[in-house]
């Protein structure tokens, strides 16, 4: 018999699976009564009580009064009950995005609340791997006091790269990286010994935007991260679709016709570098910023509007091509350049309607709430997801 089956069917393995299920339920649904949690676990009250007692002893779950519910519902009869909830501060997880023009970090707790964030301009293309990794790790931990670091349960790295499932970067053209064992590089400079994972930035963005929701979107969602380049992640019925080689969603490489400079790919048109190059040429401003560009688009300044119109047309063409393959019913935009979309949403919709066949439905296009820290948040969520699974490091420690 397979050794994994033996372990998970043993009394210890069964207890661990039930603990994982309890933590997942409390994370997904929030506070639950003992009876409700027992029902969700499919256990009787006695068995569920043993699981809860173990998690409480480990400091991961606590009892709280139901008074907050009674106050919100004056007609609720009976004495206040006791509810169960996760202890948010029990552990935390760190996510980092190494981008082409910035590094961002996010710290989340056991309830996936965002504890802190930071964003710093950084020239990733010229810094090199070593400097980028060192600065990313330094930013991630510099605001965390030493006495709290033993509660860190992992660090996730997101970056615009083609990589395998083990965090080996095959190619990151925008950063100039090739054949980089990214996870190993990060471990070498970590101030604590914790699990490390690496993920493509768009995939991390997609995971973070869908993680922990009470109701999963039943359909196909394309997540686009628009920064210096354009990355895509695909979520199908709540699960990330990676493709055969982990390259699914790389829509930035789609060829775009019908724009002022033909034979370019999508990220060359939609990326921040192209926008700012054009804007510098037409604005006459000494040091224009993306924010001043957005302001000029809002004020309908002709040169800025021309650039934004080309951007809207290219985005529409790219979405049409992508949706013809994956048939997405929803598009979620993130990254700093996504801030242009609300100003050009009507033009994007116009170009989609006028370009694609009427028989194809138009997908919903929405903005992500955390468009500038989405990949870093998703990278932290990957570690949180692992912690609430049989891969959790605490089970390895328990076995030891």
Could you tell me the residue ranges of all domains in the chain?
A: 3-86, 90-207+375-399, 212-372
The pLDDT value given to residue 319: 93
The pLDDT value given to residue 4: 38
CATH of region 212-372:
3.30.420.40
CATH class of the region 3-86:
mainly alpha
The pLDDT value given to residue 393: 83
| Tokens of residue 28, six digits | 């997904």
The pLDDT value given to residue 90: 96
The pLDDT value given to residue 8: 52
**Residues 90-207+375-399, CATH architecture:** 2-Layer Sandwich (3.30)
The pLDDT value given to residue 261: 60
E-only strand ranges, the chain: 32-33, 61-65, 82-86, 92-98, 102-109, 114-121, 152-159, 162-163, 168-172, 177-181, 196-200, 220-226, 230-236, 239-241, 255-256, 264-265, 330-334, 364-367
**173 φ, ψ (degrees, to nearest 5):** -60, -35
Tell me, yes or no, if the two domains 90-207+375-399 and 212-372 fold the same way.
Answer: yes
The pLDDT value given to residue 344: 97
pTM exceeding the 0.95 threshold for the entire prediction:
no
Residues of the chain with pLDDT below 70 are 1-9, 67-80, 213-217, 258-263, 370-372, 397-400
């Amino acid at each position: 018999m397979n050794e994994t089956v033996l372990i998970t069917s043993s009394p210890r393995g069964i207890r661990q699976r039930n603990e994982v299920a309890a933590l997942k339920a409390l994370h997904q649904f929030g506070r639950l009564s003992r009876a409700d949690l027992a029902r969700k676990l499919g256990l009787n009250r006695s068995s569920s009580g043993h699981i809860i007692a173990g998690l409480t002893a480990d400091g991961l779950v606590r009892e709280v009064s139901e008074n907050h519910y009674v106050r919100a519902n004056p007609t609720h009869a009976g004495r206040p009950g006791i509810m169960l909830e996760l202890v948010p501060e029990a552990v935390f997880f760190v996510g980092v995005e190494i981008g082409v023009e910035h590094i961002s970090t996010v710290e989340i707790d056991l309830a996936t609340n965002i504890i802190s964030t930071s964003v710093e301009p950084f020239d990733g293309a010229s810094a090199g791997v070593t400097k980028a990794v060192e600065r990313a790790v330094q930013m991630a931990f510099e605001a965390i006091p030493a006495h709290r670091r033993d509660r860190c349960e992992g660090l996730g790295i997101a970056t615009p790269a083609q990589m395998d499932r083990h965090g080996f970067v095959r190619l990151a053209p925008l950063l100039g990286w090739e054949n980089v064992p990214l996870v190993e590089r990060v471990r070498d400079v970590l101030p604590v010994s914790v699990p490390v994972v690496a993920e493509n930035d768009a995939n991390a963005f997609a995971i973070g935007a869908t993680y922990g929701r009470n109701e999963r979107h039943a359909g196909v969602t394309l997540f686009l991260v628009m920064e210096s380049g354009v990355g895509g992640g695909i979520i199908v019925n709540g699960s990330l679709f990676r493709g055969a080689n982990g390259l699914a969603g790389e829509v930035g490489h789609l060829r775009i016709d019908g724009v002022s400079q033909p034979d370019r790919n999508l990220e060359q048109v939609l990326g921040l570098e192209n926008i700012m190059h054009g804007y510098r040429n037409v604005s006459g401003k000494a040091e224009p910023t993306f924010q001043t560009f957005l302001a000029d688009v809002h004020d309908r300044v002709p040169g800025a509007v021309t650039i934004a119109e080309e951007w809207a047309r290219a985005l529409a063409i790219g979405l049409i091509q992508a949706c013809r393959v994956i048939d997405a019913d929803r598009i979620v935009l993130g990254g700093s350049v996504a801030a242009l979309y609300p100003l050009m949403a009507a033009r994007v919709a116009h170009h989609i309607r006028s370009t694609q066949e009427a028989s194809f439905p138009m997908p919903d296009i929405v903005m992500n709430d955390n468009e500038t820290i989405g990949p870093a948040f998703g990278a932290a969520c990957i570690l949180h997801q692992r912690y609430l699974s049989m891969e959790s490091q605490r089970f390895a420690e328990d076995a030891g």
